[in-house]
Structure 1
Amino acid sequence: MHTTPPDRFLIPTLSLCNFVIGVGAFGIIGLVEPLGDDLQLSAAQTGQLLTAYAVAYALLSPLLVASTGRVGRRRIMAAGFALFALAAIMSALSTGLTGLNIARVLAAAGAGIFTPLAAAVAASLSPEHQRAKVLAAVFFGLTMSQVVGVPASSWIAYTFGWRWTFWLIFAMALPCVWLIWTRVPAGLKFQPVTMGDLRDVVAEGRLMLAIMFTATFIGSQYILFTYIAPLLSATMGFGRDGIAMVLMVSGFGAVAGNVLGGFLSDRYGWRITLTWLCIAQMCVLPVFSLLPMSVPLLIVFAFLWAMGSWSFMAAQQVRLITIAGHRAPVVLSLNAAAIYVGAAIGSAVGGLMITGFGLLSLGITAGVGAACALVHLTLSARLNPLSEARP
């Protein structure tokens, strides 16, 4: 097995591919109104497209990664991205909700193959002491899709029509297939994972407890994040421009957090990093129950919140790779699925809190969620014998 990436363009290629996947996955947020107007769909019906993607990813990614474990990594990653590109064409040509939902499922399947394998390949080709930074670099593209790709998708949809957004995704995805084929090394010597590995991981309680920390942490964030727009509108009087400004600041915080998380994990180890991130979120999230406040102060807290939210992924992935051994691709696919599980749970909890206690309950509830994540982390680290303070 290699100890360093054989091609200096490998990590940028994987990051670029994750950027395209992020635009394809989350760009739908900016298409809700123009797509709904064109196809005469309600906002709730259009919003189902994001749910369909999330559910399909959560269910299909672990199964597809495990069932293709004996296929060459380069071939299966290129095939997954080709499927993602095909789904973009199907979306652009769809005339109704059924076709769009089928396309979203196919897109999730392609992304569910590529993203966890990209992390596994990058980690396996990098020195152990640099893994967190390398993984942060691979997922930098996914972070940038939130900052650049999603707003750009919305602008294109409102200006030229929603179908052009999907044609743009296809135009970006097609060269990515070629880059994967030319930059990912052929003949990587990985021990193949199987459906038996997936079954064993799911049955291993301590390992699943470690994986599901991702759902707990992400869930605490989505209690607030899902409803940040109506919260800002009700408490700060923000309209489109004010909300867009806060989301943009959050995007830059996410970029900073992605870089910071890799550095902290390499420097202090995953356990210390994750512990302090939970504590930081316990302090920052309740502040949003104190709105309204001055705009400059709100911007500072929005930046710190997003930075903390996006700093955890590199440390958590290093942790899981350390524990998983040759089953890392399956574990990473389950970890990616846990992101969507957490988002769904957090959104549901936030909705219940709004119904029962109002919008201002969201910050405090999210802070309690971060405290639960800290308890979860501490418990899972103690139960797993490989839980060391340093990677």
Structure 2
Amino acid sequence: MTLSPRYQILLLAMTTFVAGANEYILAGILDLVAPGLNAPVALTGQLITLYAFVYGLCVPLVIALSSHIGRRTVMITAMTVYGLASMLTLLVNDFWAFVPLRIIQALSGGTAVVTALSTAATLAGVQRQGRAIATVIMGFTASLIVAVPIGREIALRFGWHAVFPLIGLLSLATALSHRIVLPALSPAASIPLREQLAILRRPAIIGGLMVTVLWMAGYVTTYSYLTPYLIDVQHLPSEWVSPVLLAFGVASLAGSRLGGSRTDRHGFHATLVVSKLLQMLFLATLPLAAWVLAPGSLAAVAAILMLWSISAWAAGPAQQVRAAAMIPGAQGVLVGLNQSGMQIGIAIGTALGGLATQTFGLADLPWLSVALILASLILMAALRSRAPQGYASGSIAGR
């Protein structure tokens, strides 16, 4: 079966939807999984950190080792392994038995996502790669909006053991769809493994990845604790938190699409500068709203959160395109490293948010996020002044 690149890219978005579901759902059913694993909630929560660190540190190695294999084959294999590991959780009743399956999920799911992102950029071509990457990233946001609440309802009705095998079935169906719909794809990179690993020794690459780590850590620092922040600091009624979070998720879809279009039209640098400035503005507005507005000002807080979500997710496609532009001919490797940077940022941001909450309280979380995003913006500007002309211009094509 042959479909146009547009529909092939939509199928790639299904890959990120399934992978995102497995990563995000655990946070939504943590209180239900912990008793099932005979472990405290705090320990069970470390499965989220484990996933992020394994993804961030080990997936680049998997991408490097598989760089001589066609990308369709890599995605089919990764999604099949991912699906089988997810279905095996049906047999798990102990925390330590879950750990190896979680590691396999992170390695296979991360490999599938990185390959899907680089494939989307290739299928779309240079002029439309920002929108293509945005479409694939929208799979993540869709999983956040759809999979998490549905997963919790399934867990409440049928037990948490029913959730991950269902994701496994979706993974296997996605792998089969790749086999039927996607064309045979060339390997993601022809760079030898030693040279790929040597990329990480370049200061400019480390600096570029730190831009991603700081940006994502800034986002997650507040987002990870958004529910208690809204209830305890903004004093929103608890029954309105879920609708507000749903609106936040819907806004993220719009942000991803907007970010992709702006990246194609104006280049990644301009898009990132505007996006990060707006993120800092709206994050700073949150504590100001808590001081100035009456407690529980639902409409105002919801509006601020939606604007923050749009600006934050608009940076996603631009950040991916920026990473791919750092070294010509190493797009697949660099997209993988950037994904790893995001996962490490998630782990760091969650840890910093928890530490700040215990030390200073929830009210100061947005200021910490602002500081991290500002550091990301300053580092990005410093690196741009030293970058080659084509890269500094803000697009792979150097336009």
Paired residue type of 1:178: L
Alpha-carbon distance in structure 2 between the residues aligned to 1:322 and 1:40 = 47
Q: Once the 2 structures are TM-superposed, how far is the Cα of residue 52 of structure 1 from its aligned partner? A: 1.5
Specify which of 384, 392, 395 is matched with residue 388 of structure 1. Answer: 392
Q: Is 1:370 equivalent to 2:373 in the alignment?
A: yes
Q: Which moved more, 1:32-41 or 1:12-21?
A: 32-41
Specify which of 295, 298, 308 is matched with residue 295 of structure 1. Answer: 298
Q: Is the 8 A contact 2:276 2:312 kept in 1?
A: no
Q: In structure 1, the residue corresponding to 2:326 is in which secondary structure? A: helix
Alpha-carbon distance in structure 1 between the residues aligned to 2:40 and 2:193 = 40
Q: Is the 8 A contact 2:189 2:331 kept in 1?
A: no
Alpha-carbon distance in structure 1 between the residues aligned to 2:185 and 2:369 = 45
Specify which of 309, 314, 317 is matched with residue 317 of structure 2. Answer: 314
Q: In structure 2, the residue corresponding to 1:360 is in which secondary structure? A: helix
- CA 191–100 in structure 1, closer or farther in 2 if over 3 Å, else same: closer
Q: In structure 2, the residue corresponding to 1:106 is in which secondary structure? A: helix
Q: Is the 8 A contact 1:272 1:389 kept in 2?
A: no
Alpha-carbon distance in structure 1 between the residues aligned to 2:54 and 2:368 = 28
Pairs within 5 Å for 1:51-200: 51-188=49-186, 191-200=189-198
Aligned to 1:24: 22
Q: Which moved more, 1:381-390 or 1:67-76?
A: 381-390
Q: Is the 8 A contact 1:73 1:188 kept in 2?
A: yes
Alpha-carbon distance in structure 1 between the residues aligned to 2:69 and 2:221 = 39
Gapped runs of 5+ residues in structure 2?
none
Instruction: List per-residue Cα deviations over 1:218-266 (Å, max 9, x = no partner).
Output: 1111221121122122123346432212211110111111111101111
Q: Once the 2 structures are TM-superposed, how far is the Cα of residue 327 of structure 1 from its aligned partner? A: 1.6
Q: Is the 8 A contact 1:67 1:194 kept in 2?
A: no
Alpha-carbon distance in structure 1 between the residues aligned to 2:269 and 2:68 = 33
Q: Once the 2 structures are TM-superposed, how far is the Cα of residue 352 of structure 1 from its aligned partner? A: 3.0
Paired residue type of 1:317: Q
Q: Once the 2 structures are TM-superposed, how far is the Cα of residue 106 of structure 1 from its aligned partner? A: 0.5
Alpha-carbon distance in structure 2 between the residues aligned to 1:335 and 1:56 = 14
Alpha-carbon distance in structure 2 between the residues aligned to 1:365 and 1:121 = 35
Alpha-carbon distance in structure 2 between the residues aligned to 1:115 and 1:68 = 14
Q: Which moved more, 1:235-244 or 1:78-87?
A: 235-244
Alpha-carbon distance in structure 2 between the residues aligned to 1:113 and 1:171 = 18
- State the TM-score, normalizing by the size of structure 2: 0.92
Instruction: List per-residue Cα deviations over 1:247-291 (Å, max 9, x = no partner).
Output: 111101111111111011111111110001111112111122232
Q: Which moved more, 1:204-213 or 1:81-90?
A: 204-213
What's the RMSD between the two structures over aligned residues?
A: 1.8
Q: Once the 2 structures are TM-superposed, how far is the Cα of residue 183 of structure 1 from its aligned partner? A: 2.2
Q: Once the 2 structures are TM-superposed, how far is the Cα of residue 326 of structure 1 from its aligned partner? A: 2.2
- CA 90–318 in structure 1, closer or farther in 2 if over 3 Å, else same: same
Specify which of 270, 277, 282 is matched with residue 272 of structure 1. Answer: 270
- State the TM-score, normalizing by the size of structure 1: 0.94
Instruction: List per-residue Cα deviations over 1:15-35 (Å, max 9, x = no partner).
Output: 011111111111111221112
Aligned to 2:341: 338
Alpha-carbon distance in structure 1 between the residues aligned to 2:106 and 2:237 = 32
Aligned to 1:347: 350
- CA 101–294 in structure 1, closer or farther in 2 if over 3 Å, else same: same
Specify which of 356, 361, 374 is matched with residue 358 of structure 1. Answer: 361
Alpha-carbon distance in structure 1 between the residues aligned to 2:274 and 2:144 = 24
Q: Once the 2 structures are TM-superposed, how far is the Cα of residue 189 of structure 1 from its aligned partner? A: 6.2
Q: In structure 2, the residue corresponding to 1:192 is in which secondary structure? A: coil
Gapped runs of 5+ residues in structure 1?
none
Specify which of 43, 60, 63 is matched with residue 45 of structure 1. Answer: 43
